[in-house]
Amino acid sequence: MTGDAYGAIDAIWRIESARLIAGLARMVRDVGLAEDLAQDALVAALEQWPRSGVPDNPGAWLMATARRRAIDRIRRDVRLERKYAEIGREREAEEATTPDLTAEMADEVGDDLLSLVFTTCHPVLSTEARVALTLRLVGGLTTPEIARAFLVPEATVAQRIVRAKRTLTAARVPFEVPSGGELDERLGSVLEVVYLVFNEGYSATSGDDWMRPALCDDALRLGRILAELAPGEPEVHGLVALMEIQASRTAARVDRAGQPILLLDQDRSRWNRILITRGLAALRRAEELGGPLGPYGLQGAIAACHGRARTPEETDWERIAALYDALAQLVPSPVVELNRAVAVAMAFGPQEGLDLVDGLADEPTLAAYHLLPAVRGDLLSKLDRRPEARAEFERAASMTHNAREQEVLLARAAECA
């Protein structure tokens, strides 16, 4: 097999795997078994396509192959015979009549994909397990790719995925889109997973890199899929708006040596205007659905204030401070209050912001949060209280686990010497 053939099959798999697994999960009602069947179909493609060529509709070919494997497995697995006997008979009948798989997949793929997302992000799983399983089954990433992205051993990721699939099976989690009051709760879990992935890419919590853009791309892809599958959910569009606008700054956030460039020092001509336009459009969709903006919508509106400003001086900091006020009322959080303090400082002066930051000094949840002393150091520096600022920057540097961020903080401390 040539490298080109491997590359073509890998590209097709990344495009088709989520839809394939989703369709199979609807059939067998088990995401773990669905992934196994999809992998069987991939192995068959690796064996046959280099000789016969890639079929005209590779997704339909993979689905037909996986379904045949499912029927074979149903026949020989006595333990699952009762559970899947009726499904097996139905699929045998479909196979005998040679259905139009292309049309069938087009009709059902939306509901299937949405069901798969809600299943992999089910609250019965830990946050780490939800992230790993979603990236694996919906994002199409391999276990080594997930491990590299989050700087954890492959064995750890593999174990999380295996345990997650076992937990879903043991808990009899239904493969469906929830309804009623449960939908809002479950949707929150889905959006949390997507934004966690994006944030880890946008501001890496550990390692030597300031950013991991590939993770941002994966999260954006997931968010865009969600927006198409759930067009009536304003918070989905709010999250997409937030991610699109933040991702627009990627090229301007580091210099050629990989050193971080802070927001107010960035060359805004390097911001991606296409992503900003997409983000503003997503925010409009959220607003047009009516009702007050939710947490992601408000954060998207804050990002939009930055995205619309062609220079730092044009930024509407008073509006940003007001939006943070609204966010703090909706989801009270010390981190939100810290961000509000920054906005207040920019809008009304550093002393106003410092007073708010000092009010958070004894907040237990911020005791190990390096951005608290970093913000305080910045405000003290603007007030020309340099010795105090230097101490705060050094304290922040000792608390972060990201090497690039530590370098920035130590450099700011040195400026205060």
CA-wise closest residue to 302 among 269, 266, 346, 334 = 346
Count of CB atoms within 10 A of residue 78's CB? 7
Choice between 175 and 80, residue whose per-residue pLDDT is larger = 175
What is the share, in percent, of the chain residues with pLDDT greater than 90?
A: 46
Q: Could you tell me if residue 21 is inside a domain?
A: yes
Q: Which residue has the tokens 């946008």?
A: 202
Do 14 and 45 sit in the same domain of this protein?
yes
Instruction: State how far the Cα of 378 lies from the Cα of 341, in Å rounded to an integer.
Output: 12
From 73, 99, 125, give the residue that closes a domain: 99
Q: Could you tell me if residue 93 is inside a domain?
A: yes
Q: Which residue has the tokens 């209050």?
A: 337
- The whole-number pLDDT of residue 77 equals 62
Point out the least confidently predicted range of 136-140, 205-209, 213-217: 205-209
Amino acid (1-letter code) at residue 49: W
CATH code of 113's domain: 1.10.10.10
Amino acid (1-letter code) at residue 21: I
Do 77 and 128 sit in the same domain of this protein?
no
Query: Domain total for the chain?
Result: 2
Range of the domain at 141: 108-201
- The whole-number pLDDT of residue 92 equals 56
Q: What's the residue count for the chain?
A: 417
Q: Could you tell me if residue 273 is inside a domain?
A: no
**3-state SS class at 140:** coil
Strands (E), 82-127: none
What is the share, in percent, of the chain residues with pLDDT greater than 70?
A: 88
- The whole-number pLDDT of residue 85 equals 54
Band the pLDDT of 415: cuts 50, 70, 90: very high
Q: Which residue has the tokens 């700011």?
A: 412
**3-state SS class at 256:** coil
Instruction: State how far the Cα of 77 lies from the Cα of 93, in Å rounded to an integer.
Output: 19
- The whole-number pLDDT of residue 109 equals 43
Residue pLDDT, tens place only, 39-65: 999 898 888 888 888 888 888 899 999
Q: Could you tell me if residue 29 is inside a domain?
A: yes
CA-wise closest residue to 135 among 198, 47, 52, 62 = 198
Do 116 and 47 sit in the same domain of this protein?
no
pTM of the model: 0.76
Q: Could you tell me if residue 15 is inside a domain?
A: yes
Residue pLDDT, tens place only, 359-398: 998 899 898 899 999 999 999 999 999 999 999 999 999 9
Residue pLDDT, tens place only, 149-205: 777 899 999 999 999 999 999 999 988 888 877 887 788 889 988 988 888 888 766
Token pair recorded at residue 204: 């890496």
Token pair recorded at residue 12: 């097709």
pLDDT of residue 230 exceeding 90, the answer is: no
- The whole-number pLDDT of residue 110 equals 53
Task: State the DSSP code for 250.
Answer: G
Question: How far is CA 269 from each of CA 256, 266, 272, 273, rounded to the nearest angstrom?
Answer: 16, 9, 8, 9
Do 186 and 145 sit in the same domain of this protein?
yes
Count of CB atoms within 10 A of residue 181's CB? 8
CATH code of 20's domain: 1.10.1740
Do 174 and 95 sit in the same domain of this protein?
no
294 contacts 238 by C-beta, under 8 angstroms: yes
Count of CB atoms within 10 A of residue 12's CB? 19
Q: If you compute the radius of gyration of the chain from its CA atoms, what whole number of angstroms results?
A: 24
Residues 6+ apart with CB under 8 A from 250: 211, 213, 216, 272
Q: Could you tell me if residue 365 is inside a domain?
A: no
Do 78 and 113 sit in the same domain of this protein?
no
pLDDT of residue 93 exceeding 60, the answer is: no
CA-wise closest residue to 273 among 298, 295, 244, 301 = 244
Point out the least confidently predicted range of 90-94, 137-141, 254-258, 352-356: 90-94
- The whole-number pLDDT of residue 188 equals 87
Instruction: State how far the Cα of 345 lies from the Cα of 264, in Å rounded to an integer.
Output: 14
Do 132 and 94 sit in the same domain of this protein?
no
Do 133 and 186 sit in the same domain of this protein?
yes
- The whole-number pLDDT of residue 298 equals 97
Q: Could you tell me if residue 81 is inside a domain?
A: yes
Band the pLDDT of 255: cuts 50, 70, 90: confident
Do 121 and 66 sit in the same domain of this protein?
no
Do 138 and 52 sit in the same domain of this protein?
no
- The whole-number pLDDT of residue 4 equals 67
Do 40 and 115 sit in the same domain of this protein?
no
Residue pLDDT, tens place only, 99-157: 444 444 444 445 788 888 899 989 999 989 998 998 888 888 888 888 877 778 999 99
Instruction: State how far the Cα of 67 lies from the Cα of 104, in Å rounded to an integer.
Output: 13
From 46, 67, 99, give the residue that closes a domain: 99
Q: Could you tell me if residue 322 is inside a domain?
A: no
Instruction: State how far the Cα of 21 lies from the Cα of 18, in Å rounded to an integer.
Output: 5
Do 8 and 89 sit in the same domain of this protein?
yes
What is the residue-averaged pLDDT of the chain?
A: 86
From 201, 220, 242, give the residue that closes a domain: 201
